[in-house]
Structure 1
Amino acid sequence: MSGLTSGASRSAATPLAAPAAISLIGVGKSYPSGTQALDGLDLVVRQGEFLALLGPSGCGKSTALRIMAGLAAPSSGTVERHIGAADGASIGFVFQEPTLMPWARVAANVRLPLDLAGVGRAEARRRAEEMIERVGLAGFGRAYPRELSGGMRMRVSLARALVTRPHLLLMDEPFAALDEITRFRLNDDLLALRAAFGCTIAFVTHSTYESVYLADRIVVMSGRPGRVTDEIVVEAPGPRTAAFRGTAGYAEQCRRAFAAVAGAAAASEPR
């Protein structure tokens, strides 16, 4: 990835005592169908941290993320945002699918949030080109999404989310559909981008391995309706690099995360 070292170093002290970036307090979410996705969810994402949301399928992880972003309203409870602009301009969102405009070139896709915000054409073009290079796609600005691999399209989506330099980056299983090697590379690149821009990240994943590799803190959610059942602080000396995956500490923390998810899933099964 141009200009960045993969797995770039983060501060040795994780920001677990930092002020809140966003808080969900007693949040519930019910749908007209009668499905209750969340019930009494209490969750704090702290400024500067990398938080992973982990839990069984259907536990409301994506719903919680959409509520954080303001893309869905809670049925009950409150959401407190402490991250800057009240209109949500300081929030970036990366969906499970890249959701790119197929008729537009990479540069136009990345530039879209700046165009919508009324940023001048020349400045928007400059910032988009810089971000395209940052995510490792220098030279692909004039390509169409159909000409790119799945991993490259996800890089475009990540560039689009970061081009506004958001305070809070929300990511909903962005790498789940990618092959393992591409996923590992994007994990490393995401850590490098986080180190470069200093943004707070909340990341939904089904992978215990990915959550332990990326996160400062893992929040485990119960089966539907979702609520927090466990919290794991990830201990990792020095920068996160591929070598971390081969350590006994990594294996042990993956085991702990897996056991917590299995316990949450078992507790929510019908008796």
Structure 2
Amino acid sequence: MTAPLVSLRGVAKRYATGTLAVRGIELDIRPGDFLALLGPSGCGKSTLLRMIAGLAEPTAGRIDWPGGTPGPRDIGFVFQEPTLMPWATALANVALPLDLAGVPGREAEARAAAMLARVGLQGFEQAYPRALSGGMRMRVSIARALVTRPRLLLLDEPFAALDEITRFRLNNDLLELWEAERFTVVFVTHSVFESVYLARRIVVMAPRPGRMHAELAVAAARRGEAFRTSADYAAHCREVSEALGLAMAGEAA
């Protein structure tokens, strides 16, 4: 069996205020996974994501990388908001991680332009964030996270603020990128429907302190509109909804 990319053992996080955000997290993230963390607001999903990224330290337990400690280019992070530099073009925003890594200017620009094309923004390289729609700004953010070809892509409810049509389109685009590149994904969401459509594994989390309530597999060979409107999709959504309901009620899995 392939060793996990990331292994979490007994992970907990208590803030200086005394709030216990998450506790007792036992989770293996395998290479090529598309894993969704599903739960209500305030259950510690984002806290867990930040600890995996190394942006916060657990107060108990450990996070191991059996394949080797990640470097700055090994993790891509997409926040809830695009967090783009408003004074920089789309091309410059995407090239930023490469610039910081010392990649020569022409190479960085070429790689950034290629990644913008991959997310459907060819022709918008010189556009500034203010001239882009919300969905386009999120595409730039995803391109920036992927331009270093990270081993692990972490996404913190990136599509929550978008309209449904744009959200569906970006779901499909993200899946297309993942299927082509097979990087590892951890995707935070509070949407049952989004988690079932995107993920191959879903971790359902209980309210604060965040705990793993259940882990469910979604074994659909291909995503797409045929899957979204299928009886199989509806059945998976029902199963995940029931697990989330039990988690919210504080019942045992």
| Alignment TM-score, normalising by the size of structure 1 | 0.90
**Aligned with 2:34 (options 50, 58, 83):** 50
| Residue identity matched to 1:149 | S
Aligned position for 2:74: 90
1:185 lines up with 2:162 in the alignment = no
Which SS does the other structure have where 1:28 is aligned?
strand
1:40 lines up with 2:20 in the alignment = no
- Per-residue CA deviations over 1:159-216 (Å, capped at 9, x if unaligned) read 0000000010000000000000000000000011011211000000000000000111
Q: Distance in 2 between matches of 1:204 and 1:121?
A: 33
Aligned position for 1:266: 249
| Residue identity matched to 1:251 | A
Q: Distance in 2 between matches of 1:211 and 1:18?
A: 24
1:68 lines up with 2:37 in the alignment = no
Measure how far apart 1:84 and its partner are. 4.9
Aligned position for 2:156: 172
2:10–2:60 CA contact under 8 A, matched in 1: yes
Measure how far apart 1:24 and its partner are. 1.2
Aligned position for 1:254: 237
Measure how far apart 1:83 and its partner are. 5.1
2:38–2:205 CA contact under 8 A, matched in 1: yes
1:39–1:225 CA contact under 8 A, matched in 2: yes
**Aligned with 1:134 (options 111, 115, 118):** 118
Q: Distance in 2 between matches of 1:210 and 1:110?
A: 26
1:59–1:226 CA contact under 8 A, matched in 2: yes
Aligned position for 1:208: 192
Q: Distance in 1 between matches of 2:158 and 2:107?
A: 28
Measure how far apart 1:243 and its partner are. 1.1
Measure how far apart 1:87 and its partner are. 3.0
Measure how far apart 1:85 and its partner are. 5.1
Q: Distance in 2 between matches of 1:202 and 1:19?
A: 17
- Per-residue CA deviations over 1:207-245 (Å, capped at 9, x if unaligned) read 000000011100111111111110110021x32111101
1:165–1:84: structure 2 CA closer, same or farther, 3 Å change rule?
farther
Which SS does the other structure have where 2:173 is aligned?
helix
**Aligned with 1:99 (options 68, 77, 83):** 83
Q: Distance in 2 between matches of 1:126 and 1:258?
A: 44
| Residue identity matched to 2:232 | G
1:59 lines up with 2:35 in the alignment = no
Measure how far apart 1:19 and its partner are. 2.5
Which SS does the other structure have where 2:5 is aligned?
strand
Measure how far apart 1:88 and its partner are. 3.8
Q: Distance in 2 between matches of 1:61 and 1:83?
A: 24
Q: Distance in 2 between matches of 1:84 and 1:157?
A: 26
Q: What root-mean-square deviation, in Å, do the aligned CA atoms of Structure 1 and Structure 2 show?
A: 1.2
Measure how far apart 1:32 and its partner are. 0.9
1:83–1:168 CA contact under 8 A, matched in 2: no
Q: Distance in 1 between matches of 2:203 and 2:33?
A: 12
Q: Distance in 2 between matches of 1:117 and 1:85?
A: 17
**Aligned with 2:222 (options 239, 246, 266):** 239
Q: Distance in 2 between matches of 1:91 and 1:141?
A: 24
2:3–2:67 CA contact under 8 A, matched in 1: no
Which SS does the other structure have where 2:244 is aligned?
helix
| Residue identity matched to 1:201 | V
Could you list the runs of 5+ residues in structure 1 that have no partner in the other structure? Answer: 1-16
Which SS does the other structure have where 1:165 is aligned?
coil
4+ long deviations beyond 6 Å: none
